[in-house]
Chain A
Amino acid sequence: MRILTAFIFSLALLLPLAADAYDVLVLQSRRDPAFEEALAGFRANRRFSERVVVLADYADVDITRIVREDQPALVLALGDRALEAANKLRQTPVIALISLGIHSRHATHSNLTGVGMFAPPERYLSLFHGMKKRHVGLIYHPAKSGWYVQLARQAAQRMGIELVVREVSTPRDTLTQLATLAGKVDALWMLPDATAVARETVEAYFRFSQEHNVPVVSFANAYLGLGAAAVLEIDRAELGRQASDMGSAILKGTEASDIPLAYPRRIQLKTNPSVMKHLGIAAERAALHPRE
């Protein structure tokens, strides 16, 4: 009787596994509304068969083994930790979302594609232009954001804006470099660079903004409360939909290496009216809207 019971129990466990063939392995860094929002966007246009693994739920997850056993058509990595976990995958296409390290890995991983967290530099520069800011300070880590700064320089040159850039290799350098920007810039551009913008140094941007009366334009809504004059926030649901399109293309046979990294399609401008008013740029708000 016991043998029969064990057999039935094992069958009940194994049968679902046999039927668990899916297209997309979703690696989610942790349970967070932002990831859920992006995942919802991913699922919005097309229903992929998927398996979701939340990495924060496990102490150690062997993604390679899961991919080898499950043979998913592609891996959707949500967040830097998920991208780090998918780092060993070389064959299975990986679409990365909400990850700051995607650009640094893209060069070495041909199976990696996705949507970056950098808005097109033209958007920021248009914003500065609307604010009538011609000398924009920018601090970055060359390895992480050098590509973007290069593009930004080119775009700025076209728009007649001088980018006063400072390179940092550690977060501690940010403070020193920020001090060097005093009197040389009339706006600060905060990049989603984990070295240039750290928890310890983020305060320094806004203190600099206060002390030198220059607006800070950042990339996330959270900084509006700290003193940012305006942010260009990425629509996370739209990120999911972008990834969904990429996934569909991959499932249709397109190689991941043929799909370049993309900028976010939809970006929202949000401003802090109080900060704008204090900084004397309330009058120029109207000029911002046409470019949104």
Chain B
Amino acid sequence: MSPCTQFINFRASFQFKLFLIFTLLTALMAVLFGSAYIVTEIREQSIYAGNRCQLIAAHLADTVRLPLFAENRTVLMQIAQDTARTPDFHSLTVRTNDGRVLAEMRKPVSRSPSELLSRTVEVRSTPLGSSPESAIIGSKEPVGALIGTVRLDLDTTEFKARTQRLIMMACATAFLFWISVSSLCYLALRQVTRSFNALMRGLESMQTGNYAVRIAPVSNDEPGRAAGAISLLAASLQEREEENRRLQQQLINAMRLEVQKEKQQIMAKLIQTNRMTSLGLLASSMAHEINTPNGAIKLAGQQVAKTWKSALPILERVAEEEGDFVLGGAVFSLVRGEVTKATEVIARCSERIEKVVQDMRAYNVGGHSDAKDRVNLNQVVVDALTIIRAHGRHGNIVIQNEPYPELPAVTGNRYQLEQVVINLILNSIQAIPESRNGVVTIVSDYDSLHGEVSLVVRDDGKGIRPDIMSRLMEPFFSTRMESGGSGLGLYISNFIVTEHRGRLVFESEPDKGTTATISIPAADNGGTAGPDAPPVPEVV
């Protein structure tokens, strides 16, 4: 710490302020008392000098009474010479009552009137003295008869010098008093504020966060007791701080574990997503590979059917003409029907393969998000069920489809809606424990009042706990993370339904099942489902 900083700190300290106050008060008192002493002393000296001059003059008046009355100049001059021996004598003038100067004595030193202290005293006969008549009568005369005057001038230069010495002495005394008292005050303050300073040093150390410091008790005064209390408080704070640090470390460790776990889950999801992407690519590739030979099969089947159809009359004429004959290891009468059926099977199966491949490609590509087709939800359900069936995990679960007849179409992307329905059905299937049977019911409906088409997927599974109901739509939230859930299904489903200006609502009761309802406005033209929508209930 630099000397300047030390000085600034000292100047701001309690000790310095107290010292300053004491010093100023002491200086003030010294000045006041010194001034009062000087003023009083000067006044007393002035009064004393005046009284002394008056007394000398009165004494002279008493002394010169008779010589003055007798106008004895010799005696008067002798008295004047005696008076001139007075140290501060300057001049003496003795006059008769008619103003004649009978005696005058003056020192050669010239003084201005301001440097002289003058007194003029009347010389009267003694008041006790009486004229014969008064003495006989016994009356007393108030004052004596005026004989003359005595004027005495005293030199005040010595008095002024004495006054100056007095002032200097008083100032020096006051200064020494101030210095002495200030020094004693400083020592006393140092002693008194010792415990206070120790307290402040301890507090400053604690201010920097060092709660390990302990303030040593200097004395048993208030700051000393406060220092003890603060030491206890610092110890308590230190314990709390260590506790907090420990808890914080535990929290950090827990968060690290949580983050690690989350990271692992996300990585698993990424891997799953990557795998699904790869699977999609594989499915697309497989569709292409299947579709090409299937096209050849279909074409060949059509060719075979066409050939068989054109060859059949010929063969029938041959059989009529020549009788039944063997064709391909069997008699013509049996083969004719079998081959016809076989061609039909080839055609139907190839069409089915084509359709499956087409659906697979459509599901994989997924993306006609901008498509605004008229979509019949009943058909969507049928297509979804086709895929669900392909998924295959619903051995002891009955899926009931209860389509609404003449269900109005909605405007949207049939593949996206199909994805929603698949998600909902899969969720319902997964909500039913594998150890028991279950029913998943799919019901479509139309609310003519609001012009909405609804689709309800209901299961009798384990239901959803109330604490996670509000989090169903959150991304990456799943109760089946461990079993491969991505936590994106319902998030995407809700997004798709919302994109179709609809809403997705869940109602659930633990151990009783869950009901998911999709409500989407019907198409403006109020079109009905196409002829391909089977209106009959279907049980899978």
Contact = CB atoms under 8 A, between A and B. Distances in A.
A32 interface: yes
Nearest to B136: A220
B133 A100 contact: yes
Contacts of B147: 200
Interface string B60-95: 000001110111100000000000000000000000
Nearest to B72: A175
B133 A79 contact: yes
Contacts of A33: 138
Interface stretch (B121-129, B317-325, B401-409): B121-129
Interface stretch (A16-24, A158-166, A181-189, A201-209): A201-209
A184 B451 CA distance: 171
Contacts of B141: 199
A100 B126 CA distance: 22
B136 A219 contact: yes
A223 interface: yes
A176 to B, nearest CB: 6
Given A199-B125, A203-B125, A207-B66, A32 B136 contact: no
Interface in B400-455: none
B70 A172 contact: yes
B498 interface: no
Interface residues of A, number: 34
Given A32-B137, A34-B136, A220 B130 contact: yes
A180 to B, nearest CB: 12
B70 A175 contact: yes
A253 interface: no
B390 to A, nearest CB: 163
Contacts of A32: 137, 139
A98 B136 CA distance: 8
A194 interface: yes
A223 B140 CA distance: 12
Nearest to A176: B70
B66 A222 contact: no
B130 A200 contact: no
B470 interface: no
Contacts of B128: 225-226
Given A199-B145, A201-B69, A34 B137 contact: yes
B144 interface: yes
Interface in B99-154: 125-126, 128-141, 144-145, 147
A39 interface: no
Contacts of B132: 100, 117, 192-194, 197, 219-220
A80 B133 contact: yes
Given A34-B139, A176-B70, A200-B147, A194 B133 contact: yes
A234 interface: yes
Interface string A210-227: 000000001111110110
Nearest to B131: A199
Interface string A225-267: 1100000001000000000000000000000000000000000
A128 interface: no
A202 B135 CA distance: 11
A198 B131 contact: yes
A172 to B, nearest CB: 6
A124 interface: no
A98 B139 CA distance: 13
Given A172-B71, A175-B70, A207-B66, A202 B129 contact: yes
Contacts of B137: 32, 34-35, 79, 98
Contacts of A225: 128
A201 B134 CA distance: 14
Given A35-B137, A199-B130, A220-B136, A175 B145 contact: no
A172 B136 CA distance: 22
A34 B129 contact: no
A175 B66 contact: yes
A199 B144 CA distance: 7
A35 B72 CA distance: 39
Contact of B130 (A175, A193, A222): A222
A223 B135 contact: yes
Interface string A46-88: 0000000000000000000000000000000001100000000
B139 A200 contact: no
Contact of B66 (A194, A204, A219): A204
A222 B137 CA distance: 9
Most-contacted residue by chain A among B66, B133, B139 (CB, 10 A): B133
A35 B138 CA distance: 10
Contact of B65 (A100, A176, A203): A203
A202 B130 contact: yes
Nearest to B135: A220
A35 B132 CA distance: 15
A193 B65 CA distance: 21
Nearest to B147: A200
Contacts of B133: 79-80, 98, 100, 194
B138 A222 contact: yes
A219 B132 CA distance: 8
Contacts of A34: 136-139
Contacts of B126: 199, 202-203, 226
Given A34-B138, A220-B138, A221-B138, A172 B69 contact: yes
A175 B65 CA distance: 11
B125 A200 contact: yes
A166 to B, nearest CB: 14
Interface string B257-288: 00000000000000000000000000000000
A35 B126 CA distance: 25
In order of increasing CB-CB distance, the 4 nearest A-B pairs are A220-B135, A202-B129, A34-B137, A175-B70
Given A33-B138, A197-B132, A200-B65, 12 more contacts: A79-B133, A79-B137, A100-B136, A198-B131, A200-B69, A202-B129, A202-B130, A203-B126, A219-B135, A221-B138, A223-B135, A226-B126
7 contacts: A35-B137, A171-B69, A175-B72, A194-B131, A199-B125, A203-B125, A220-B130
